[in-house]
Amino acid sequence: MRSEFLSQASRLTALAVVVALVAACGGRAKPDSVTRAVDVPAQFDVVLVAEKDTQFDYLDAPLTAEDLRSALRYRMEESLPMNTVLLKRGEKERVRDAHIVAVARMAVEMKFKAYVQEKKGEINEIRTTVKSD
């Protein structure tokens, strides 16, 4: 009876160690993180290009984050497609964290899916977690 109890206790201890190791490795993501997209659409409703000073090129016009937010709101009011937005690297500017954070906030606010293309051919989805108060 005693050896059976020790056997069960050692199994439970081993299971607890495995669970603790898996939990320690898995839960360290940024609130606004970029992850590989499972289903990347063939076309995007809106394509943005990252520009210097955390500006965006939208329809060949340089816009700040606030101006872009207004332009996307107008697009929604006009019932134009707004389900997917792609943020691409600019000709002279790479995609910065500030670009990603701004687009992620707009995606949460306006309920669209946002994607980022930092390197040629590699498109990732921007996923956000909303902080509950």
Question: Tens of pLDDT along 30-70?
Answer: 434 555 545 788 899 999 999 998 899 999 999 999 999 99
DSSP letter for each residue of 69-133: HHHHHHHHHTT---SEEEEE--SS-PPPHHHHHHHHHHHHHHT-EEEEEEETTEEEEEEE-PPP-
Whether 11 is covered by a domain: the verdict is: no
Number of domains in the chain: 1
Residue 79: inside a domain? yes
Element (H, E) at 73: helix 65-77
- Whether 10 maps to a domain, the answer reads no
Integer Rg of the chain from CA: 22
Domain that holds residue 109: 30-128
pLDDT of residue 4: 56
